[in-house]
């Protein structure tokens, strides 16, 4: 433990140990009365000098009612009671401050530990970029690299800026960005993002963004700004402490003064000032709101940090609190539930083998760079031998005619088939339908569609098990393709052929329909999703490959474009809020019980110490559980 402590924490630990040692020694010193009290002043001043100093400064600055004031009054009051009783035993006076300092040290260490965990996991800021000059590599600051520059990243180095690989291949470790421990391979022509660690080969990368706009900078900015967005729970605790602390101070003063006066003038009994002052001091120690004021923000801090370890960046505790209440999830389709790339999904009514039909279609389309042509060539799975193709003729708005291995091949839509006098068989599947005819005879059709991500079905199931009541998909795609995706994923609603303004209108409708306490999340990745991301109760952007506008507009950013992360984000938020509510209930419940016991004379100073320091330690331990997210 001491290895991970700061110098200030080590100094505090030394004071605590020395004070404890002095208290033990004083139990065996045969001195009583004034001499004993004078000896107790030594460990008291050793452990309490900073608390007394802060209390005095608080009074001087008009900020009286804080934990330092409570501890100062309670401990000094205990000393004065020892003087009144002429006992000289000031063990309780020193002990209350000693255990308070133990709690403060524990809290400081826990916060520092959680901060270190986050900073280590988010230690992605690059220190330099390599530029090749005169045959040598020169290190310069990443923010000095201009767009379009070529940087060199060697094995073991962080990629300092976003860009495209010009030369080389390597395996990249992106665990700090996405939470994904499996390295991924990159080769020439592929995009790479800053913050990844180059593991194997040398990469030459042409930069596409300045450092301030790069992925690593945006991530760091999101994490740094998260603490500035406070949740309603945190705001409540801050307001509660401002009212609660003065209230208990005045209550303690009333407890010390009113009962003796009532005893004397109403009941004709002894005033017993020392009894009621002692109870008032217990009241002050018990009432210290440290457990509440410290553990609730710490819970949110740990929850946001734990989520960032999994590649889920939450911009503030207010968004985390909202995320925990999500019951409606609205998805964009392309790039969110689907990959956003064309691929052959099926072949129907083929009169020859599937592989041969795909091969003929790919060869006929070999001269085109259209995405549909590329998807046909990818589905063929063979190297395209263009020597087998001749007489290629592209018919605008219809398709392509070509001679393949001596046969006349027509590849295109129904218009092309009709133009050739060939009866095309219609298809009910969603997507783009490519009809193929060979030597004037219909050979079948190929369905090309946007491919559903393999994790999408699991994401839907996990969201339902997490208590989400309604799942909706909004898309600008055609109704047939949209309906097919919705049916496969078993979504509750689907709305297609929408403009960005139409998506906003649909979200507005859902917001009006749902109960006020239930929240709606929208998940998207494109620049056209920015308006609806902003309008939803909580906007979730697929950040790794998403647009800058979507990331800027969103409240939560998923770094690896895995829709299952949406369900994980909801579960993490609910777990964190559960910890927050546990700490609030624990702190208030124990304190109110102990306050009642202290007021009627059942509690003593040791129970008061538990109600303050013991509850603080338990609450802090509970709060840092929010960092543990692996099995959530």
Return the closest-CA partner of residue 555 out of 518, 524, 510, 513: 524
d(CA 524, CA 562): 12
H or E, element range at 538 = strand 538-542
d(CA 360, CA 532): 44
Q: How far apart are the first and last CA of the chain?
A: 27
Spatial contact of 493 and 351, defined as CB atoms under 8 Å apart: no
Return the closest-CA partner of residue 338 out of 455, 431, 494, 506: 455
Largest CA distance in the chain: 122
d(CA 113, CA 628): 13
Spatial contact of 380 and 404, defined as CB atoms under 8 Å apart: no
Q: Sheet holding 338-348: strands in order across?
A: 338-348, 441-452, 432-438, 407-412, 399-404, 389-395
d(CA 580, CA 573): 11
Core vs surface per residue 172-211: b (16+ CB within 10 A) or e: bbbbbbbbbeebeebeeeeebbbbbbbeebebbbebbbbb
Enzyme catalytic residues: 332
List of residues 6+ apart from 450 with CB closer than 8 A: 333, 334, 338, 339, 340, 341, 342, 343, 431, 477, 481, 485
Cα-based distances in Å from 551 to 82, 88, 137, 531, 555: 63, 65, 34, 12, 8
Counted residue by residue, the chain has a size of: 632
């Amino acid at each position: 433990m001491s290895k991970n402590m700061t110098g200030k924490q080590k100094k505090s630990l030394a004071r605590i140990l020395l004070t404890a040692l002095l208290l033990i020694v004083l139990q065996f010193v045969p001195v009583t009365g004034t001499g004993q009290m004078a000896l107790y002043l030594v460990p008291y001043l050793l452990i309490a000098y900073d608390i007394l100093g802060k209390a005095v400064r608080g009074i001087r600055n008009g900020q009286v009612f804080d934990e330092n004031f409570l501890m100062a009054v309670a401990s000094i009051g205990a000393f004065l009671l020892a003087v009144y009783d002429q006992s000289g035993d000031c063990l309780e006076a020193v002990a209350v401050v000693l255990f308070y300092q133990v709690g403060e040290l524990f809290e400081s260490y826990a916060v520092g530990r959680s901060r270190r965990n986050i900073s280590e996991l988010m230690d992605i800021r690059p220190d330099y970029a390599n530029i090749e000059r005169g045959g040598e590599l020169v290190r310069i600051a990443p923010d000095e690299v201009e767009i379009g520059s070529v940087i060199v990243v060697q094995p073991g180095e962080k990629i300092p800026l976003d860009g495209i690989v010009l030369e080389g291949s390597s395996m990249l470790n992106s665990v700090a960005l996405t939470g994904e421990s499996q390295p991924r391979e990159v080769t020439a022509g592929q995009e790479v993002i800053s913050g990844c660690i180059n593991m194997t080969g040398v990469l030459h990368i042409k930069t596409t963004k300045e450092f301030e706009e790069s992925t690593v900078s945006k991530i760091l900015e999101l994490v740094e700004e998260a603490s500035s967005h406070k949740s309603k729970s945190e705001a409540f605790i801050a307001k509660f402490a401002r009212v609660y602390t003065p209230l208990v101070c005045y209550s303690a003063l009333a407890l010390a003064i009113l009962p003796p006066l009532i005893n004397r003038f109403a009941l004709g009994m002894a005033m017993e000032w020392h009894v009621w002052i002692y109870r008032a001091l217990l009241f002050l120690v018990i009432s210290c709101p440290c457990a509440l004021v410290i553990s609730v923000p710490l819970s949110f801090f740990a929850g946001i940090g734990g989520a960032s370890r999994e590649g889920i960046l939450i911009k503030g505790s207010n968004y985390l609190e909202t995320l925990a209440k999500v019951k409606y999830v609205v998805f964009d389709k392309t790039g969110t539930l689907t990959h956003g790339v064309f691929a052959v999904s099926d072949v129907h009514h083929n009169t020859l083998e599937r592989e041969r039909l795909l091969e003929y279609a790919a060869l006929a389309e070999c001269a085109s760079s259209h995405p549909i042509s590329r998807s046909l060539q990818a589905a063929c799975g063979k190297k395209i031998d263009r020597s087998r193709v001749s007489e290629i003729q592209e018919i605008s708005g219809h398709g392509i005619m070509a001679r393949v291995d001596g046969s006349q091949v027509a590849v295109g839509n129904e218009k092309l088939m009709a133009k050739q006098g060939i009866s095309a068989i219609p298809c009910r599947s969603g997507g783009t339908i490519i009809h193929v005819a060979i030597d004037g005879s219909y050979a079948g059709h190929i369905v090309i569609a946007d491919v559903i991500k393999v994790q999408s079905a699991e994401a839907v199931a996990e969201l339902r098990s997490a208590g989400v009541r309604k799942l909706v998909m909004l898309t600008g795609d055609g109704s047939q393709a949209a309906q097919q995706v919705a049916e496969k994923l078993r979504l509750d609603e689907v709305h297609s052929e929408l403009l960005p303004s139409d998506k906003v209108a649909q979200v507005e409708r859902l917001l009006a329909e749902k109960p006020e306490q239930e929240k709606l999340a929208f998940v998207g990745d494109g620049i056209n999703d920015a308006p609806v991301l902003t309008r939803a109760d909580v906007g979730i952007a697929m950040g790794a490959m998403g647009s800058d506008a979507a990331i800027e507009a969103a409240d939560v950013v998923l770094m690896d474009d895995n829709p299952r992360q949406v369900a994980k984000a909801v579960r993490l938020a609910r777990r964190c809020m559960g910890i927050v509510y546990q700490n609030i209930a624990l702190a208030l419940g124990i304190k109110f019980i102990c306050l009642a016991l202290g007021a009627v004379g059942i509690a003593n100073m040791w129970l008061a110490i538990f109600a303050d320091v013991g509850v603080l330690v338990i609450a802090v331990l509970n709060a840092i559980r929010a960092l543990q997210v692996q099995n959530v």
